[in-house]
Amino acid sequence: MAGEKQPDWQGLLKWSVAHADGTKPTRNISEEEKKWFYEAMQAQTVDTIRRMKEITMVMNMPQHVLDEQGVTTDEIEQMLEELQEHVESIDMASDLHAIGGLIPLLNYLKHSDAAVRARAAEVVSTVVQNNPKSQKQVMEAKGLEMLLESFTSDADMNVRAKSLGALSSLISNNKEAVTSFRLSNCYAGLRDALGSGHLRLQRKALQVIMNLLPQYPADGKVIAGLGLPRVITTLISNEDGGIRQAALQTLVDIARTGGQADVAECNNQLKQILDARVEQIKQLDAEDLAAAKEERQSLDRLWQLCFNEASPLRETGLVVSEADVSESAEAPASRLSGAAEEEKPPLLLLGS
């Protein structure tokens, strides 16, 4: 792009500040100023579309042609990173399919290089995030099936994590996608992700479960039946604070949606694991105690749900306050009460 005429960004910035900083009274904008502003914005839009078309052309090239031209996987990854910046704009994301870029992007989920596959999944996640039009386009292009395959089967754990992140964005506020996701026996895949030992993949799997359960409370029994509580219980001892808290809250949600007995009984060491974490919490200083506020609340609530008795945290005064605990405990119930109708457990179409 060197040597090409670029938009006058400095002038655009000055114009914006002069007309929108609130320090000057509003005045009528002249036709000349309007024309300059629209031309500047149009120049940037045209330039972005041109670059996206160029990137699409490269993505459509056979691998042997790229190899002959000396294009490296690092350069392809950088190209996808640039594309991701462009599609952060919802308009540009929606235009990606129109210019022929969506299909080759999805095909990059099967690229021979893991870094390229991971970056492609990231771009797809950006494309569909909070974008119903792009979500529909990806669904029509069989993108959900491709992401599911990457999530469950890719040999690289980072690719799996990125693919699950893209799936999470695709099913957000997308009833068709979430239905297909649940019918794909997603919880078996999430169970495997939780047992992977990969922090990013585990964290994302917990997040997806916590997002689904309030909408589909009947899935709690499916989750329990597949043995997820047993796997999640082991994460209570994880060194990562975010995973510990998410594991505890996920078990609370499972217990509240019909899997209480399964959470309490699936692992006869649950109480022992919770006791061990309580002892660790007792040793925390004031700053770390404050950081572990949500974890303490979730642990206390889980103890009450599973064992029908006050937790050691409550007995030693380490639960923040009664009001905080009540608010934390009621949050899942309030989310559940917003469901329009009781959901049936998903049919498990694939083997667990």
Domains of the chain, CATH where assigned: 45-184 (1.25.10.10), 221-338 (no CATH)
Interval 273-331: pLDDT, tens = 999 999 999 999 999 999 999 999 999 999 988 888 889 999 888 985 544 444 444 44
Output the six-digit token pair for 284: 């925390």
What is the DSSP code string of 72-112? -HHHHHHHHHHHHHHTTSHHHHHHHHHTT-HHHHHHGGG-S
SS3 content of the chain, % helix, strand, coil (to 5): 75, 0, 25
The whole-number pLDDT of residue 260 equals 62
Residue 141 near residue 102, CB atoms below 8 Å: yes
Q: Which residue has the higher pLDDT, 264 or 182?
A: 182
Does the pLDDT at position 3 exceed 60?
no
- Residue identified by tokens 């499972």 is 254
pLDDT at site 329: 47
pLDDT score recorded for residue 224: 85
CA 118 to CA 328: how far, in whole Å? 35
Question: Could you tell me which of 299, 296, 234, 295 has the C-alpha nearest to residue 267?
Answer: 234
- Give the chain's mean pLDDT: 83
Tens-digit pLDDT profile for residues 332-348: 444 433 444 445 555 55
pLDDT of 36-64, one tens digit each?
Answer: 555 555 555 558 888 899 999 999 998 88
pLDDT of residue 9: 43
Chain centroid to CA 101: how far? Answer: 23
Instruction: Report the half-sphere exposure of 185 (CA within 13 A, side-chain side).
Output: 12
pLDDT for 27 = 52
pLDDT (0 to 100) of residue 262: 61
Q: Span 2-19, mean pLDDT?
A: 46
Exposed / middle / buried, residue 207 (Cβ in 10 Å: 0-12, 13-18, 19+): middle
pLDDT band at 257 (very low <50, low <70, confident <90, very high): confident
